[in-house]
Amino acid sequence: MSHRFNRHTCEEAFRRLDDFLDRRLTPEETRLVEEHLKVCAACTREFAFESSVLKTVRRKLRQLDAPPDLLSKVLSQLLPPPRPER
């Protein structure tokens, strides 16, 4: 089945991309973004880029020799929050 995605849909997906990467979307929002990424090459490229930047920053932060309190504060802001148990 072919879905037609317009610019508005890309804008919606793009606006939710950060929260998608941080796993902060509702299950329904997550599903919609995932469906859009399956059919939109432009948004998929943006997702891949942002995802790689986050991974690189996380990896570099783990290599820093910083005071433990500072490092834990920074990492807590970059790592996704734990998902609530159901």
pLDDT in tens, 54-66: 889 888 877 777 7
pLDDT tens digits for 65-75? 778 788 788 87
**Other C-beta atoms within 10 Å of 13: how many?**
24
Task: Round to whole Å and give the CA distance between 27 and 22.
Answer: 13
The sign of the CA dihedral 83, 32, 14, 1 is positive
Q: 23: which DSSP letter?
A: T
Instruction: Provide the residue ranges of all domains of the chain, joining segments of one domain with +.
Output: 7-78
Q: Answer yes or no: are the C-beta atoms of 16 and 33 closer than 8 Å.
A: yes
Task: Give pTM, 2 decimals.
Answer: 0.60
In whole angstroms, what separates CA 1 from the centre of its chain? 27
Q: Residue type for 42, please?
A: A
